[in-house]
Amino acid sequence: MPSGSFPELDAALPELERCYVDLHRHPELGFAEHRTADVGARALRDAGCEVTSEVGRTGVVGVLRNGAGPTVLLRADMDALPVREQTGLDYASTQVTTNDAGEEVPVAHACGHDMHVTWLLGAAKVLGSRRADWAGTVLFVLQPAEERGSGARTMIEDGLFERFGTPDVVLGQHVGPMPAGHVFTRPGLAMSASDTVHVRMFGRGGHGSRPETTVDPVVMAAATVLRLQTIVSREVAATDSAVVTVGALNAGSKDNVIPDEADLQLSIRSFTEQVRGKVLDAVRRIVRAEAVAAGAAREPEITVVESYPLTVNDESATESLSTRFREVFGERRVHPGPIVTGSEDFGEFGRASGVPSVFWFVGGTDAQRFVTASEAGTVDQDIPSNHSPQFAPDLHPTLSAGVETLVTAALHHLDG
* Confidence at residue 1, expressed as pLDDT on a 0 to 100 scale: 37
CATH architecture of 7-191+310-413: 3-Layer(aba) Sandwich (3.40)
The reply, when asked if residue 174 is annotated as ligand binding, is yes
Distance (Å, rounded) from C-alpha 288 to C-alpha 230?
Answer: 15
**Is the Cβ–Cβ distance between 55 and 123 less than 8 Å?**
no
Q: How is the chain split into domains, by residue range?
A: 7-191+310-413, 193-307
pLDDT tens, N- to C-terminus, the chain (416 residues) = 334 579 999 999 999 999 999 999 999 999 999 999 999 999 999 999 999 999 999 999 999 999 999 999 999 999 999 999 999 999 999 999 999 999 999 999 999 999 999 999 999 999 999 999 999 999 999 999 999 999 999 999 999 999 999 999 999 999 999 999 999 999 999 999 999 999 999 999 999 999 999 999 999 999 999 999 999 999 999 999 999 999 999 999 999 999 999 999 999 999 999 999 999 999 999 999 999 999 998 999 999 999 999 999 999 999 999 999 999 999 999 999 999 999 999 999 999 999 999 999 999 999 999 999 999 999 999 999 999 999 999 999 999 999 999 999 999 999 98
**Is the Cβ–Cβ distance between 160 and 348 less than 8 Å?**
no
The reply, when asked if residue 147 is annotated as ligand binding, is yes
The reply, when asked if residue 111 is annotated as ligand binding, is yes
Q: Which CATH number fits domain 193-307: 3.30.70.360, 3.40.50.720, 2.60.40.2220, 3.40.190.10?
A: 3.30.70.360
